[in-house]
Structure 1
Amino acid sequence: MLRKPLSSDLIIGSDGRGRPAWAAQDSLLREYYDHEWGMPIRDEQGLFERISLEAFQSGLSWSIILRKRENFRAAFAQFHPDKVAEFGEEDIASLLENPGIVRNRRKILATINNAQATQRLREKGGLVELVWSFKPSHTPQPRSLAEIPTQSAESLALSKALKREGFSFVGPTTMFALMEAIGMVDTHLIGSHRRGSSGIWTS
């Protein structure tokens, strides 16, 4: 008999592991939740990719972005900042005709702009150092999805810091989603088999 989950928002799968509903039904989302979401990213290219994808996700479902991720990687030179920073009008026109990605001109331009901002930031310690400097002193301990915040004082401060450095599409809600995705905060529900898996937070 399957045990009762600690939260009504957790679903205990056939493997006996607790996951939130959004990660329990779809195999792609479950794979992402089980192996990627909430794990630390501390390299510039990886972090630039996550910032870019979070920007494209704004106003959309993450599942849409996840299903198109390989297309995004191919279209944006594997999110190598130096290569994306060189994109010109022909590249932009090609991206706007690419059905494999989200064809939003403002988000495409923001990605190119953010690549250029990432380059400039190297003179001040780099993107990784800046982002991780906003790691909070504690993390949420949600027992339900309703207890998970959508932004925090740190995500607001990070948003302002990135905007000062010339980044765009980096609002506080988007930055909190980034912090969740890269393990800066642990918003896995209490009782989830992924709680504490980042190695950064122990509870």
Structure 2
Amino acid sequence: MIYRDHIKRALDLTFVLLALAVLGIPILLAMVVVKLCSPGPIFYYQTRVGLGEKPFRILKLRTMTVNPNRVSVQTTNHDPEVYPAGKVLRRLKIDELPQLFNILRGDMSFVGPRPCLVQTRNTMPDWALRRFKVRPGITGLAQVNGNITLTWEERWKHDIEYVDRASLPLDVATCFRTFVVVLFGEERFKNPL
């Protein structure tokens, strides 16, 4: 509890400043790629549900063509709206790097349940709502155990496991596994509870 509620935020702030110093140039290059490969804005903002069920705007690099009539739903690289360079950005999770600014603002953490859409929150059973006791993360247990290959219920179980077990060793292990998943692809790591 002390780690989850106090120490974790201090570590997030320390490491996000280091990450921005190291990844600033790659983020700028990715922004150029988005601008050159697809007309429209560089960034994509979306309302998500965070700590204490408080809504916030998540920041991502835009990987899809602009479609004002599109309903917010989960997408994959197979969706026709994902432009070719966007597929690469998504596959390597580069589109998620602007969420470092969400960490800086206090909306997110490096590790925690992925922030969900409002409509996803409205379909959750009561037991899954415990996932909102921690800041959402750029990565989490569900993301290193299969992510989109898991059912929503399996993902929520991983989220609750994180709420119960949050610790520095678990965060370090999850970050390490995230790098492995990004290298080899999340479909190889399905591990439902």
Scaled by the length of structure 2, what TM-score is found? 0.28
Higher radius of gyration, 1 or 2: 1
Higher strand share: 2
Scaled by the length of structure 1, what TM-score is found? 0.27
